[in-house]
Amino acid sequence: MRKNQPIGVFDSGFGGFSVYNHLRQLMPNENFIYIADSSWCPYGERSYEEVRSRAVRITEYLIQRNAKIIVVACNTATAAAIELLRRKFPKMTFVGMEPAIKPAAKLTNTNVVGVLATQNTFNGQLYKETKKKYAGHIRVVVQIGFGLVELVENNQTRSPEAIRLLEKYIQPMREAGADYLVLGCTHYPFLLHSIKIVAPQLNVIDPALPVAKRVLSLLSQKDLLNDGLMDYTAFYTTGALGKLNDFARAFVTGNYITDALQL
C-alpha cells in the first residue's frame, strides 16, 4: 500500500457525506473516492441479500481503484454486509457505522433515549447486541425514519414535509421523556436544522465524527496517512449526476470532481 492511495467511502446515497465532511476536515491531505449508490437508494427497505450484493459490487470497484481503506458510511449497509465484506476481502480494512446507543445511554439524565434509523438497521445483529450491551438499564424508544432518506436525497431537508415527518417521529420520544436522540442513519444529520425546530431541547448524537476519528487512527497506526498534498477527490453516483451536484454544492466542503458511474 502507498500512502497516497485514496480512502474509499460509500453509502446508499448522499448520507455518507455527513461522515465524509468530518473525514475531510480531519485529513485534508487525503485523496477520496465516494460512491453514492443512489439508483439503489434507499437500502433501508431492501432485502439484506440486495444490500450485500451492492456492498460487494461497490467494494470490488473501490479495490480496483486502489482504496487503502473503505468506510461503509451507511448504518444499513454496515448492519447487512460488514461481516461479509470482512470475510470476502480479508486484506482490506473496513470501518462501519456504530449505532451510538452507548454514549446516549451514558449521558441520559431521564434514562430514556430515542433512536431513529432504518428498518434494516434495527433488524441487524449489531443494533441488537449494542442495545443489549449498553442500554439494558434504560428505555429505548425506536422509530423507523420512513421517508426521511428520500427527503435528504432530494435536497428537501428544510421542507414542510421534513418538519411534519420529524414531528411525527420525535413526538412519542419526547412524550416518553427522552432527552437524547441517536441518529442511526447517516442521512439524518442533514436534517439537524429541522430536528432542532421540532425539538430544540433534545440532545442529538451523531456518530459521524467518532467514526472519522477511527479512520484517522487506523491509518496512522498503519503508517498510511498521506504525507503529500491532496491530488483528487472524486464523488460518483449510480443515479442522476444533477442531484449529486446539487447536493454536494449545498452540503459538502472542499474541492472535488463528480461523475456518474454504472455499477
Q: In whole angstroms, give the CA distance from residue 121 to residue 219.
A: 27
Q: Which residue has the cell 477520496?
A: 32
* Minimum CB–partner distance for residue 22 and ligand DGL (Å): 14
**Shortest distance in whole angstroms from residue 142 CB to ligand DGL:** 14
Q: Between 6 and 42, whose beta carbon lies closer to ligand DGL?
A: 42
Answer for the pair 248, 258: CB distance below 8 angstroms, yes or no.
Answer: yes
Query: Nearest-CB residue to ligand DGL?
Result: 44
Would you say 76 or 226 has its CB closer to ligand DGL? 76
SS (H, E, C) 150-166: HHHHCCCCCCHHHHHHH
d(CA 96, CA 67) in angstroms, rounded, equals 15
3-state SS class at 168: helix
The enclosing H or E element of 174 equals helix 160-175
C-alpha 77/C-alpha 74 separation (Å) is 5
Binding site for ligand DGL (CB under 6 A): 11-12, 15, 41-44, 74-76, 118, 121, 149, 185-187
* Residues taking part in catalysis: 74, 185
User: Which of residues 4 and 18 has its CB atom nearest to ligand DGL in the complex?
Assistant: 18
Terminal-to-terminal C-alpha distance of the chain: 25
Q: Which is nearer to ligand DGL, 15 or 174 (CB)?
A: 15
CB of 26 to ligand DGL, least distance (A): 20
Q: Please report how close the Cβ of residue 204 comes to ligand DGL at its closest, in angstroms.
A: 15
CA dihedral 47, 49, 53, 58 (to 10 degrees): 50
